[in-house]
Every structure is written in C-alpha cells, then in structure tokens.
Structure 1
Amino acid sequence: MELAIHTEGLRKRYGDHEALRGVDLAVPAGTVLGVLGPNGAGKTTTVRILATLLEPDAGTARVAGYDVVRERRQVQRAIGLTGQYAAVDEQLTGAENLRMVGMLQRLTRAGARQRAAELLDRFGLTDAADRPAGTYSGGMRRRLDLAVSLVARPSVLFLDEPTTGLDPASRLDLWALIREQVAAGVTVLLTTQYLEEADELADRIVVVDSGRVIAEGTSDELKRRVGGERLEVGLADPAQQPAAAAALTRAVGAAPLAGDDGRVLSVPLDGGLHDIAEAAVALRAGGVAVTDFAVRRPSLDDVFLSLTGRTGRPPEETPGDTPGAGAENTTGDRAADETADRSGHRSEEWSAA
C-alpha cells in the first residue's frame, strides 16, 4: 500500500508547551484523512510540519515519498495547502492571484494564464475573474483559496479547517470540490472541527488531543467505540417515567437511562427491530403516552465527547472561543505565518523551487 503521508513520532515544542508528543500518521494515496481535535490539540502544527513551514523537534515525516526536512523542495512541489482563512491577495483580482501563483510555480506566462482560466471556470469564478478578491463573498474567497492551492496540480492537499466561517451552502459547495480532487487521485489531509465534515469526506479519522493521537479508525469504527444504536423515548408526562422504565426494561432486557428533565428515556438496542417492536408494544400496554420514539446511532460528536470530554462544536459556536485560538497559536506558529507568502508557502523557497 503506497503511503502519501507517513509520520512517526512527530514532536514539536514551543518554549514550555509541547504541541506534539509523538504523532504517528499513515495515509494511503488517493484517500482522505480527517484530523479532529479541539483548539490547541496540535492539528495546525502537524499540518505546518508536513507542509515544510515548521521543522519537527523529533520524529520523521514523509510526504509524497519525500522527507519533509531533507527533501523540502520536492515536498513543496508535490503539495497544495489551504489554511483556516483565505490567504489570497485582496488587492489583486481572482485571475491575477492565480496567475501570480502560477508564475511562482515556474509556469510560463501563457501556461499560468491558461491554468488560471481553467480553475476559474471549474470553481465558478469566471464572472468574477477581473474583480479584486477583496470584493468576493466568504464562499467565493474560500473557493479561490482552494483554486490557488491547486495551480501546480498537487498530489497531496492539506486543508486546515477550510470551511471555517462558511455558511452551510458554501460549505456543501466546497465539499463537492474536495470530492472531485479525491476522485482524481489527490490525497487529502483535512483538519476540521465540523464533525459532520469528517463524517462526509474522510475515509479514516484520527482524533488528536494534547499533541497525541488518541483514537483512529473509520467513522463507523469510532462510533462503535461509544456503543451501538439506542432507542430514545420522549414522554408526554414525566410522572410516567417509572412506568415507562419498567416497560422498556421488560421489553429489551436493559434498564434505560433518563434525561435530566425526566422526559426522555434512552435504552440500548441489541435485538434490532425485535427490540423496537417489543418496546412499542410494552409502552402501549403500560398506558405510557409517548411524544417521540426514535432510534439513534452514535455520532462523531458522541465520539469526540467521550474521548476528549468536550463537544465537537466549531469555535464560533463555543462561548469564549475564537477561531484559531488556543495553544497552537504560539510565538513559534506566528513566526511561521510571518515567513509564509500569500500562497501559504515560504516565498524565498518557492521562488527558488
């Protein structure tokens, strides 16, 4: 199995803070790895090391077959990078942004113009090609940012929370564009705090917390770690909770858990449809008035909560948080940002590549 990304024991420290504590990743070519974790978990630091914007303190990493420390320029030629926020030049038009990156990638003037036209068409930006990027909507800017990362036709694409701040429709558009790249054989490493995004796009998922990989597997494998399906029953009258609990216990052979308000009971389903039917009959025979009766599968949010003790809500939905806040935004990371050009790569290295 050809690995497009392979890391062993990656470590990175900023002063007294150890951002990475031995991260191991193995990503087969042509697949999507979703990387989940709370702010400060080490996601962005990992991406920056893999994209050659930072050097690890210990461990090894290979991208597209090249060592990220010893063969940096070969790695840079093989990758595309889209960060958490659009990194295009707002004063340049969409077409100018793409042509500029094409020239940095050593395309001829005609080649850069042709590649820019292709990407503008594919990303639905042709009508806005001659407008300054600063006039674009959030969704348009993210599409342009993704287009910029694809100018050199990379074999490996790093997407660091690419849909942060987008409305649902724009997020769906970007998902479709990402799927197209994967279908064309591109390997994608996607960091995200939108758990449904990982559920939709990722072939495999790793959960990172405090600089370590604490779980990995497919979406279904991770969900099975927190249990199977459960039957949730909403009660019209909380006073009927004892009767409902007794009926469900008789029906499925397990005692249900009650919600805080006493109106919802949840019981594991080991017998599938038979348990569901038995539960419905038992509740009706017991005279229990039900407002809701639904089978619920574990979600990635359940997985995230069980593994990290935190919900998987994106930063803008978490009180007191701001996107990108946390331990990863340290002095070391800011220094890396300041040396990166608008295409997301160090300008002196890319101009020489």
Structure 2
Amino acid sequence: MPDQPAIEAVGLEKSFGAVRVLDGVDLRVARGSVFSLLGPNGAGKTTTVRILSTLLPPTAGTARVAGFDIRRQRAEVRRGISVTGQDTAVDELQTGAENLRMMARLHGLRGSAARARAGALLERFDLTEAGDRRVRTYSGGMRRRLDLAASLITQPAVIFLDEPTTGLDPRSRQQVWEVVNELVRNGVTIFLTTQYLEEADRLADQIAVVDGGRIVAQGHAAQLKQQVAGHRLDLVAPDPAAYEGLVHRLGPRATQPAPERLAVSVATDGSANHVRALLDELDPEHRAVARFTVHSATLDDVFLALTGHATTQSQKETAGV
C-alpha cells in the first residue's frame, strides 16, 4: 500500500551474551525518503541494519520491511531490498562490467539481458568509460559507485547503506550523495547509517540519533537542532582564571568546554538582545571574554546535548555493531 511505511520496527532488542547492543528500538520510515540512523561506532547502527535486512535475528521485537515481516517472510523481504555494507563487495580482478554481469546472472538474468542491465547501470553511475577496466584500478569513489550499481540489479524498493562514505575523500563523498539523491527521486527508500553529521544533515528527510542501543531523539534536522537551541554562543577567555570563572558562572549551561583553548559555549536564541544579556551576565566587568562568535546549532550540538559526547569511536567498535 502506498501509505504503508517502507520500514517499521517496534521494540527491537539484540544481545550478544551479556552485552545488550539494541535496547528497544522503534523506527518508522516513509516510502521514497532518506532515513538516517546517526551515531558513533558501536551505538548499534550496523546491528539494526543486519536485523532489518534479515541477516541477524532480533532477540525481541518486531519489524516489517517493504511490507513483509522480517521473521516470518524473510525471503520476501530479501527480494525487496538491497544492502551495501561499509566495505565494497566487488571483485577487484574483474572489470566493472564483468562484476555487474556476474551479479545480473546471480539474480537470474541471462545473456543479452544481463549485458543490457550491466550497461545501463554503468551509464547511470557514470562508469561507462571505466567499465572495461579491472576494478583494482578504480578510485575509492568509483568502487563505491560500482558497489551501489550492483545493489540495483533487481531495482529494490529499499536500500540499506551502512556508512557508505567512510574513508572516501570529499569529492567521492559528494558523488555518492548525488547517487543517493537520484535514487530517492526515482522512488527508492534509503536507510542510511552514518557517523558523519554533515552527511545526515545534507541527505536525510528524517534522522534518528542512536546511543548505547537506544533511540534518544528523532525528527528532521531542523527539529533536532531546535531541541538544543537555534544557536550557540562560543566564548574564548583571555587566561585560565577567566576561563574557570566563565565555566563556573555557566554551570550546567556550559557546552563543549575546551580548556586547552580557553573556550566554552552556551545556547542562545541568536538574537542581539539575548547575546548582549549573556555577555553582561557572564562578563559584567568586561574582562572574562576575549572574543565571541555566534553559530547556528549543528547536529554535533544535538548529539553532544543528547548523549554527553561527540560521535567518536566507542568500545564496541571492534564488535562491528
């Protein structure tokens, strides 16, 4: 049904022995949209993708993907989705065209049909000129585009992209973003996991922030930013004593303290009146603030406010969760 969500999950849990990786995750993803699961390594993003793509059974909870139950209708789910993991899954010893023809044959296409599908995808992903070169000669961005092309052999309704731009240079990352936007324009639903805040901000219609296996906030980027404040005031003190005084006056309002730079931030609505009031409150003698700047809130501010830490590496990274 057109009004049915592409993905719907209720109370997903997953434990590996005594380690609980997911702790009651609820998700709802509209068809033809980009949904981003944002969080640090080890937060549970990859585990969520593996469960929703039927590669891993949940410990508890239910989910439907592309209209089918992930427990009872695994084959139907798999026919309607594609998964692109963190590492490219292409054969470096074959050419780009050979990789795509091989994937087409694995999906039941034969002869001219397989060649036609491979040729169409090479053209769509701007790889036609490189199609007869071995993949080991491709750049990182070209390999990622080839990997995405392979995932579209069967024209899936839902594509899971698990940190697709990790390790790519800015130009290659931009190319992948353009591909994602094109897929959505053609009606595909994208489930994107990332730890790149800019990526979620640029691509996602809806964002869920995950930390410690729990969803701590959901909404579009502007809504999430509004939760912490529309703007922030960054303050730099002239010396350590003045810095300590600023932090003391701010108390729990202080965010992003950086004693090595004598810098600290505080939420503001961005208006001149509020900024003046904060400066008068925090620096009544005009000695504690050497300089200040006002910034619009970012997703990094959201993550810091919601979790108390940035999207950095975690102890669970080696578990691949």
Asked if these proteins are the same fold (TM beyond 0.5), I'd say yes
Task: Kindly indicate whether the alpha-carbon contact (under 8 Å) linking 2:229 and 2:268 is maintained by their aligned counterparts in 1.
Answer: no
Task: Kindly indicate whether the alpha-carbon contact (under 8 Å) linking 2:227 and 2:302 is maintained by their aligned counterparts in 1.
Answer: yes
| Cα RMSD (Å) | 3.2
- Give the alignment partner of residue 157 of structure 2, picking from 147, 155, 158: 155
Residues 269/304 of structure 1: CA separation in 2 closer, same or farther (3 Å cut): closer
Residues 50-108 of structure 1: CA distance to partner in whole angstroms, max 9, x if unpaired?
Answer: 11211222211111101122212211111111100101111221111111111122223
In the TM superposition, structure 1's runs of 4+ consecutive aligned residues that sit over 4 Å from their partners are: 237-242, 255-259, 261-268, 273-281, 286-293
> Which residue of 2 is the match for residue 141 of structure 1?
143
Task: Kindly indicate whether the alpha-carbon contact (under 8 Å) linking 1:41 and 1:328 is maintained by their aligned counterparts in 2.
Answer: no
Residues 146-199 of structure 1: CA distance to partner in whole angstroms, max 9, x if unpaired?
Answer: 111111111111000000100111001100110111111111110001111111
Task: Kindly indicate whether the alpha-carbon contact (under 8 Å) linking 1:233 and 1:266 is maintained by their aligned counterparts in 2.
Answer: yes
Return the alpha-carbon distance in structure 2 between the equivalents of residues 97 and 54 of structure 1: 26
Offset of 1:49 from its aligned partner?
1.4
Return the alpha-carbon distance in structure 2 between the equivalents of residues 113 and 92 of structure 1: 15
- Give the alignment partner of residue 221 of structure 2, picking from 216, 219, 243: 219
Instruction: Spell out the pairing of 1:62-141 with structure 2 (5 A cutoff).
Output: 62-141=64-143
> Which residue of 1 is the match for residue 306 of structure 2?
307
Residues 265-305 of structure 1: CA distance to partner in whole angstroms, max 9, x if unpaired?
Answer: 75544472455688999xxxx98899755321221112222
Offset of 1:239 from its aligned partner?
9.6
Equivalences, count: 311
Return the alpha-carbon distance in structure 2 between the equivalents of residues 10 and 22 of structure 1: 5
Q: Do residues 327 (structure 1) and 319 (structure 2) align?
A: yes
Task: Kindly indicate whether the alpha-carbon contact (under 8 Å) linking 2:158 and 2:189 is maintained by their aligned counterparts in 1.
Answer: yes
- Give the alignment partner of residue 49 of structure 1, picking from 31, 48, 51: 51
Residues 265/241 of structure 1: CA separation in 2 closer, same or farther (3 Å cut): farther
User: What letter matches 2:7 in structure 1?
Assistant: I
> Which residue of 2 is the match for residue 345 of structure 1?
none
User: What letter matches 2:216 in structure 1?
Assistant: I
Return the alpha-carbon distance in structure 2 between the equivalents of residues 37 and 30 of structure 1: 23
Residues 39/326 of structure 1: CA separation in 2 closer, same or farther (3 Å cut): farther
SS at the partner of 1:62?
Answer: strand
Task: Kindly indicate whether the alpha-carbon contact (under 8 Å) linking 2:270 and 2:294 is maintained by their aligned counterparts in 1.
Answer: no
Residues 232-263 of structure 1: CA distance to partner in whole angstroms, max 9, x if unpaired?
Answer: 3556x559969xx8xxx9xxxxx999863686
User: What letter matches 1:67 in structure 2?
Assistant: D
Residues 201-234 of structure 1: CA distance to partner in whole angstroms, max 9, x if unpaired?
Answer: 1111111222221221111222222223133355
Return the alpha-carbon distance in structure 2 between the equivalents of residues 208 and 266 of structure 1: 24
Residues 102/225 of structure 1: CA separation in 2 closer, same or farther (3 Å cut): same
Return the alpha-carbon distance in structure 2 between the equivalents of residues 233 and 142 of structure 1: 41
Return the alpha-carbon distance in structure 1 between the equivalents of residues 22 and 278 of structure 2: 48
Instruction: List gaps (5 residues or longer) in structure 1.
Output: 250-254, 330-353
Deviates more, 1:210-219 or 1:173-182: 210-219
- Give the alignment partner of residue 30 of structure 1, picking from 18, 29, 32: 32
Instruction: List gaps (5 residues or longer) in structure 2.
Output: none
SS at the partner of 1:213?
Answer: strand
User: What letter matches 2:225 in structure 1?
Assistant: K
Return the alpha-carbon distance in structure 2 between the equivalents of residues 123 and 261 of structure 1: 46
- Give the alignment partner of residue 164 of structure 1, picking from 155, 166, 169: 166
Task: Kindly indicate whether the alpha-carbon contact (under 8 Å) linking 1:91 and 1:132 is maintained by their aligned counterparts in 2.
Answer: yes
Residues 135/270 of structure 1: CA separation in 2 closer, same or farther (3 Å cut): closer
Q: What is the percent sequence identity of the aligned residues? A: 51
> Which residue of 1 is the match for residue 23 of structure 2?
21
Return the alpha-carbon distance in structure 2 between the equivalents of residues 107 and 48 of structure 1: 27
Task: Kindly indicate whether the alpha-carbon contact (under 8 Å) linking 1:241 and 1:262 is maintained by their aligned counterparts in 2.
Answer: no
Task: Kindly indicate whether the alpha-carbon contact (under 8 Å) linking 1:91 and 1:134 is maintained by their aligned counterparts in 2.
Answer: yes
Return the alpha-carbon distance in structure 2 between the equivalents of residues 4 and 265 of structure 1: 42
Residues 59/270 of structure 1: CA separation in 2 closer, same or farther (3 Å cut): closer
User: What letter matches 1:294 in structure 2?
Assistant: T
Return the alpha-carbon distance in structure 2 between the equivalents of residues 306 and 187 of structure 1: 29
Instruction: Spell out the pairing of 1:183-198 with structure 2 (5 A cutoff).
Output: 183-198=185-200
Return the alpha-carbon distance in structure 2 between the equivalents of residues 212 and 279 of structure 1: 34
SS at the partner of 1:3?
Answer: coil
Residues 290/310 of structure 1: CA separation in 2 closer, same or farther (3 Å cut): closer
SS at the partner of 1:310?
Answer: coil
